Structure formats: C-alpha cells, structure tokens
Amino acid sequence: MVTFALAVLVLAATPGPALLSIVAVGSAFGFKQGTRYVIGAIAGANIVILMVISGLAALLANFPSLRALLTGLSLCYLAYIAWQIATAPNVLNNNEKVRIVGIADGIFIQLLNPKAYAVALALFLGFPFSYQSFAIETLTKLLIVNGIFIPAYSLWLLLGVKLRALHLSPQLTKRLNQSLALLMLVAVVFSGTSII
C-alpha cells in the first residue's frame, strides 16, 4: 500500500497535459475559475479510473479506427484548451465576452488525456495489495488516489495563481500563458506517443 501511495504521489507531481493545464488555467483565469477546473479534472480522473477498472477503456482500444478517431478528437480538444489558455486576456473586465474554462473542461481534459489512461492502468491493474477482495482494494486505492490528487492538483493550481499574482507586464503574461499552453501540447504529444 505504501508503494502504491508513493507511485500516486510521483504521478501527481509529474506534469502532464492535465497538470500543466491546471497551472495555466490558474495563471490565465485565477483561483475561482481554476478551482472549478480542478474539480472537473478530479472528477474526470475518477471517471477515467472507473472506465479502466470496468474494462470499457480496454474494449474501446480493441477497435483501431475508433481508437484513432478518439485520439484525433483528444488532440483537437487539448489543442482547443491550450488555445483558450494562450489567448486568455491579461485582465478580465465585465465588458469582455470571454469563454472561461470550467468544470466540464476539467472533466473532458482527463477523458481525452492519454496520460490519464496510462496512469489509471498502471495504478489500478498494477500494485495489488489486497488479495481478499477486489472491491475493498479498489475502494482503498480510490481513497488513496483522491487523498493525494486533491491536494496535489490544488498545489498546481496555486502555482498558477501565484504566477498570476506576480502582476507581470501584459507582454510577459501573454508569453507565460503561451508557454504553458505549448508545454501542455508537448506533454500531450509525448504522452500520446508513449501509449500508441
């Protein structure tokens, strides 16, 4: 169980598309919107875990054309979120009509994130520690994962909010958001190619 918790901690600290997007959302949109996004990302991670445990993810992987379609949709959606972050205004005012990311975006980023499936597969199909009951082991693992993911995701969000609080010049803020969006896309490419 300790080895499992350490693996979860390492995975929660390793930036991938979702974690980089959490930092970027905190930097681009602030704590309030970032919190909504984090709630969605945690919910999405749990949905992915349930899909892996139930075998639905494995079933979908058996259809190459469907897998290719889902991979393409994933890349498009993650690129869209990166675009939202890269083009976020430096300061939001009441007159601006800006599409701000929220809970649904957090959920979808996990559902379309190749790293989320790889992590869920590694954690829930590896690291057996309760040979008596699959249900008890799964519930224990879900509690450990969420007990680590919730504070870890919150810390990643706070990093983004702290970047925002630096009150950088508009040009530097724009470059920071663009850099975070680019790093997110690079993470998507690396996590996607390591799974395919």
pLDDT of residue 92: 45
pLDDT of residue 94: 43
Can you give the residue range of the structural domain that contains 102? 2-191
Other C-beta atoms within 10 Å of 154: how many?
A: 16
Q: Can you tell me the distance from the alpha carbon of 66 to that of 181, in angstroms, rounded to the nearest whole number?
A: 27
Asked if residue 86 is part of any domain, the answer here is yes
Spell out the residues 6+ positions from residue 109 whose beta carbon is closer than 8 angstroms to its own: 17, 18, 21, 40, 41, 44, 77, 78, 81
Asked if residue 73 is part of any domain, the answer here is yes
CB-based burial, 16-49: b 16+ in 10 Å, e otherwise: bbbbbbbbbbbbbbbbebbbbbbbbbbbbbbebb
Q: Can you tell me the distance from the alpha carbon of 170 to that of 68, in angstroms, rounded to the nearest whole number?
A: 39
CB 66 within 8 A of CB 179: no
- What is the pLDDT tens value at each position of the chain, 196 positions in all? 788 888 888 877 777 778 888 988 898 888 998 999 999 999 999 999 999 888 887 777 777 787 777 777 777 777 777 777 777 766 544 444 456 788 999 998 898 887 788 888 888 887 777 777 888 888 999 999 999 999 999 999 999 999 888 887 888 878 877 887 787 777 666 655 554 4
Asked if residue 85 is part of any domain, the answer here is yes
* Residues making up the chain, counted from first to last: 196
Asked if residue 196 is part of any domain, the answer here is no
Q: Can you tell me the distance from the alpha carbon of 180 to that of 188, in angstroms, rounded to the nearest whole number?
A: 12
Q: Is the pTM of this model over 0.95?
A: no
Spell out the residues 6+ positions from residue 162 whose beta carbon is closer than 8 angstroms to its own: none
Q: Can you tell me the distance from the alpha carbon of 120 to that of 61, in angstroms, rounded to the nearest whole number?
A: 15
pLDDT of residue 45: 94
pLDDT of residue 167: 81
Total domain count for the chain?
1
